[in-house]
């Protein structure tokens, strides 16, 4: 179980994260804009996130933070 | 109990970057900061900012930074390293800085085998000044000053820095990487960390050339720019290790 969070005010809507997600659950928001005026990236199905942090790896603006449940 | 597995590295300042959307400078900044974090050298690292879009690196790293005159970052780094040999000195330079006006400083700092780390960001164009032809612009590539594509008959052929420096005896480690995909970014991270570790271990001159994009001046969407890099730049500028004096040692490249 992984938790993905976005620092939306830093997102420039470049969309690179949406091209690398293996689960295709990262998308640019269609109906919201952030304080910079961009459509920010968002996760449409958090339960499907596998915590691979591909999105974070390619994000140029350090928008994304990923947490994973510690192994029991 | 959740563990954070990916977040902004400590050595990168918590400020918005001024770069255009999709500009890969942000990725490369993060990789440099991750290398500084991994080696625990933030307190004794001094960076040298070049001229170009990346001039503002001095606002983005938590370590001390110096701003050099155009192309002179390796010369400034030489002075910093010789004055304070225990400090870790890196330069962060674009292709318009390192491969054009700074060619002499680059070649001679390599020839002297200065124990410094150079991060060379090659996006095949002058970004900050509005997209003019750079020495690294590909044949046929359209820029502001080559509107019909770079004509090698008239404008010459690109400079290949890694190939050129591999002939310089004083250089220790040269690798060309790219940031167009997650796999390539991970390889770039390993190369940048190795370039810093070489300096910590006193091994000498290390340069990592990072193929990057300039979506704004290439006139492409960020994802399409990554595609263009993959299809056009990598065939012309092959990725790989061009020189590694210590490759046979444990922990050598590859």
Summarize the confidence of residues A33-39 as an average pLDDT.
95
CB-based contact (8 Å) between B183 and chain A?
no
What are the structural domains, with CATH classification, of chain B?
Answer: 25-244 (3.40.50.970)
Q: What is the pLDDT of residue A69?
A: 83
Q: What is the pLDDT of residue A1?
A: 77
| Sheet of strand A2-6: strand arrangement | A2-6, A64-69, B2-6
Residue B34 to residue B36: CA distance in whole angstroms: 5
Q: Is the pLDDT of residue B252 over 80?
A: no
pLDDT band at residue B250 under the 50/70/90 scheme? low
Residue B86 to residue A72: CA distance in whole angstroms: 42
Q: Is the pLDDT of residue A21 over 90?
A: yes
Mention every residue, 6+ apart, whose C-beta is less than 8 A from residue B225: B22, B213, B214, B215, B218
pLDDT band at residue B251 under the 50/70/90 scheme? low
Q: What is the pLDDT of residue A72?
A: 58
Q: Is the pLDDT of residue B135 over 80?
A: yes
Residues of A in contact with B33 (CB under 8 A): none
Residue B161 to residue B107: CA distance in whole angstroms: 9
Summarize the confidence of residues B47-76 as an average pLDDT.
96
Among candidates B64, B14, B11, which has minimal Cα distance to B37?
Answer: B11
Residues of B in contact with A67 (CB under 8 A): 2-5
Enter the ipTM.
0.95
**Spatial contact of B207 and B173, defined as CB atoms under 8 Å apart:** yes
Q: Is the pLDDT of residue B253 over 80?
A: no
Q: Which of B30, B37, B182, B226 to mutate to test the interface with A (most CBs of A within 10 A)?
A: B182
Buried b (16+ CB within 10 A) or exposed e, B6-40: bebbebbbeeebebbbbbbbbbbbbbbbbbbbebe
Residues of A in contact with B222 (CB under 8 A): 14-16
Q: Which CATH architecture has domain A2-68?
A: 2-Layer Sandwich (3.30)
* A21 min Cα distance to partner chain B (Å): 10
Structural domain spans, chain A: 2-68
Q: What is the pLDDT of residue A70?
A: 74
pLDDT one-digit tens code per residue, B74-106 = 999 999 999 999 999 999 999 999 999 999 999
Among candidates B48, B45, B100, B53, which has minimal Cα distance to B74?
Answer: B48
Q: What is the pLDDT of residue B161?
A: 97
Q: Which of A17, A55, A58 to mutate to test the interface with B (most CBs of B within 10 A)?
A: A58
B17: tokens are 């970057």
Q: Which of A15, A57, A60 is facing B25, going by the closest CB pair?
A: A60
């Amino acid at each position: 179980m992984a938790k993905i969070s976005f620092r939306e005010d830093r997102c420039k809507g470049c969309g690179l994260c949406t091209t690398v997600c293996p689960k295709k659950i990262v998308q640019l928001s269609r109906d919201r804009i952030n304080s910079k005026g961009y459509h920010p990236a968002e996760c449409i199905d958090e339960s499907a996130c596998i915590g691979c942090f591909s999105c974070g790896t390619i994000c140029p603006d350090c928008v994304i933070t990923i947490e994973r449940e510690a192994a029991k | 109990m959740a563990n954070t597995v990916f977040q902004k590295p400590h050595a990168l300042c918590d400020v918005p970057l001024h770069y255009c959307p999709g500009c890969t400078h942000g990725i490369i900044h993060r990789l440099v900061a991750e290398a500084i974090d991994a080696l625990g050298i933030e307190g004794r690292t001094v960076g040298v900012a070049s001229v170009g879009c990346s001039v503002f690196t001095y606002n983005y790293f938590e370590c001390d930074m110096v701003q050099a005159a155009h192309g002179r970052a390796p010369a400034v780094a030489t002075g910093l390293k010789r004055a304070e040999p225990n400090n870790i000195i890196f330069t962060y330079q674009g292709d318009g800085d390192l491969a054009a006006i700074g060619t002499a400083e680059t070649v001679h700092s390599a020839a002297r085998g200065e124990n410094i780390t150079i991060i060379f960001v090659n996006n095949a164009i002058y970004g900050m000044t509005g997209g003019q032809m750079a020495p690294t612009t590909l044949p046929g590539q359209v820029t502001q000053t080559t509107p019909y594509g770079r004509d090698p008959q008239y404008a010459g052929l690109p400079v290949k820095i890694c190939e050129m420096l591999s002939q310089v005896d004083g250089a220790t480690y040269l690798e060309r990487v790219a940031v167009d995909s997650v796999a390539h970014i991970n390889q770039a991270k390993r190369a940048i960390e190795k370039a810093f570790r070489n300096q910590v271990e006193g091994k000498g001159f290390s340069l990592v050339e990072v193929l990057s994009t300039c979506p704004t001046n290439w006139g492409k969407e960020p994802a399409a720019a990554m595609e263009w890099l993959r299809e056009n730049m990598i065939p012309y500028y092959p990725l790989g290790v061009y020189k590694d004096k210590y490759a046979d040692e444990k922990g050598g490249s590859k």
